[in-house]
Amino acid sequence: MEYRTLGSSGTSVSHLALGTMTFGAETDRDGAFAQLDAFVEAGGTLVDTADVYTAGTSEEIVGAWFAARPAEVTERVVLATKGRFPTSGEPNGVGLSRRHLTRALDASLRRLGLDAVDLYQVHAWDPWTPIEETLETLDAFVRAGKVHNVGLSNFTGWQLQRAVSAADASGLVRPVTLQPQYSLLVREIEWEIVPAAEENGLGLLPWSPLGGGWLSGKYTRDNAPTGATRLGENPERGVEAYARRNSQQRTWDVIAAVQQVAEARGASMAQVSLAWLAAQPAVSSVILGARTLEQLTDNLGSADLELEADELDALDTASDPQPADYPYGVPGEQQRSRKLTGGR
C-alpha cells in the first residue's frame, strides 16, 4: 500500500480508501466488520462514511467496529465523515447552515462513539447558506477539537474556488480535500474541477471509481443488468442508466481498453481501472465501495499494480471525453493556450 498526504495537510493516508455506503444495506454488520479488518490488515488507513449512509447505520457500524477492536488497530485509521443532506424532516434538518452542521456533527460523533473525526466533509454545495457561515462553522469545529481537517464533496470548480478564497480572505481553516465522482468513464471533472483542486492544494478522494460496476466488466452490450448489481436491483432506474451508458460508443471503447490491459497483466478489470485512477496526480486516495469481502479483496489487489506509460496512454486515449465545443474543445484552443515566440 502506498501512502500520500491528505491534500495539503500533513496527515498521511493510504492511496486506497474504504467507502462504507453499503454498510447496513447491502452489507450487514458481520460483513462490514470483515471488510474493515481486511482493509486495515492490507495496510489501508482511510475510512470514509457519512451521516446519511443507511440513515446513520453506516456510522453506527463503524463506531461499533472501533469499540470492538484494540487501540493498536483503530489508531491506524484516519476516519472521514460528511454532513449536509437531510437528517430529519424539519426545515433546518438539511444544508450547510451553522445550526444543521453543528447538530449533524454531534450526531455523527455519537454514532461513531468518538470525540473527533480526522476529516469532516460538507457533502455538497448549499445554495441557501452563505459559504462564509459554513466555513466559520467548520473553523469552530477544528478549534473545538472535534475535527482535524475539513473537506468538500461534489463541488463544482467555481464553488471550490469560492470556498477556498472565502476561507483565505477571513483567515479560516482551509479545505484540504475534494470528494468528486471520477473514473475512466467520468473524466469531465478534468476540464475545471481538477485544475481548481490542484491550484489550491486540495487532494482528490474519488468516489464510484468503477463507474457503478461498468469498469469491473460485469455488464455486457446486449443484456440489461439484473440481480445483485448496482443497476440490477433497481430495475426502473437501472434500465434507464444502462441504456444511457450503453448507447455511448466511448463506454465500450473504454471497457475494451481496460480488458486488453487486464488480460496482458493477468489482473482483473477492476484492478486496472483503480490503478489508472490512483496514478492521476491530483488523487490522494481512491474510495473503494464493495458489497462483499470478495469484491474488496479483488479491489485491494490494485495496490500492487503499477501501470506502464503505454498502458496509461492507451487508457487515456480510449477514455478521453473529447469536448467538441467552446470553451474546452478545439474552438477554444486559442483562448486556452499561449504559444511563446522568439527568444529561446
- Over residues 80-101, the pLDDT tens digits come to 999 999 999 999 999 999 999 9
Tell me the pLDDT band of 237, cut-offs 50, 70 and 90. Answer: low
Separation CA 297–CA 286 (nearest Å): 15
Residue 250 inside a domain? The answer is no
Structural domain containing residue 71 = 3-214+268-306
Examine the pLDDT at 343 and tell me if it is beyond 90: no
Number of domains in the chain: 1
Q: What is the pLDDT of residues 251-295, one digit of tens each?
A: 999 999 999 999 999 999 999 999 999 999 999 999 999 999 999
**Would you state the pLDDT for residue 315?**
98
**Would you state the pLDDT for residue 52?**
97
Average pLDDT for 316-341: 84
The three grid cell numbers given for residue 256, joined into one nine-digit string: 475494451
* Helical packing angle, 29-41 and 293-300, nearest 10°: 20
Residue 343 inside a domain? The answer is no
* Catalytic residue selected from 53, 120, 182, 219: 53
Q: Is 325 exposed, middle or buried (0-12, 13-18, 19+ CB in 10 A)?
A: exposed
Q: What is the pLDDT of residues 181-215, one digit of tens each?
A: 999 999 999 999 999 999 999 999 999 999 999 99
- Establish whether 328 is a catalytic residue: no
Tell me the pLDDT band of 163, cut-offs 50, 70 and 90. Answer: very high
Give the residue from 4, 22, 25 showing the smallest Cα distance to 13: 4
Residue 162 inside a domain? The answer is yes
Q: What is the pLDDT of residues 15-62, one digit of tens each?
A: 999 999 999 999 999 999 999 999 999 999 999 999 999 999 999 999
Residue 317 inside a domain? The answer is no
**Would you state the pLDDT for residue 247?**
82
Query: Beta strand 3-5 with 12-14: parallel, antiparallel or unpaired?
Result: antiparallel
Residue 244 inside a domain? The answer is no
Separation CA 319–CA 315 (nearest Å): 6
Give the residue from 118, 178, 124 showing the smallest Cα distance to 146: 118
Residue 120 inside a domain? The answer is yes
Give the residue from 321, 230, 306 showing the smallest Cα distance to 271: 306
Tell me the pLDDT band of 332, cut-offs 50, 70 and 90. Answer: confident
The three grid cell numbers given for residue 271, joined into one nine-digit string: 484492478
Examine the pLDDT at 226 and tell me if it is beyond 70: no
Separation CA 251–CA 245 (nearest Å): 7
Residue 20 inside a domain? The answer is yes
The sign of the torsion formed by the CA atoms of 144, 154, 199, 158 equals negative
Residue 133 inside a domain? The answer is yes
Separation CA 153–CA 124 (nearest Å): 5
Average pLDDT for 218-223: 82
**Would you state the pLDDT for residue 8?**
96
Amino acid present at 316: D
Separation CA 292–CA 173 (nearest Å): 37
Rounded to the nearest angstrom, the gap between the alpha carbon of residue 173 and the centroid of all alpha carbons in its chain is: 21
Average pLDDT for 293-319: 98
Give the residue from 264, 148, 278, 263 showing the smallest Cα distance to 209: 278
In three-state secondary structure terms, 88 is coil
Domain with residue 294: its CATH number is: 3.20.20.100
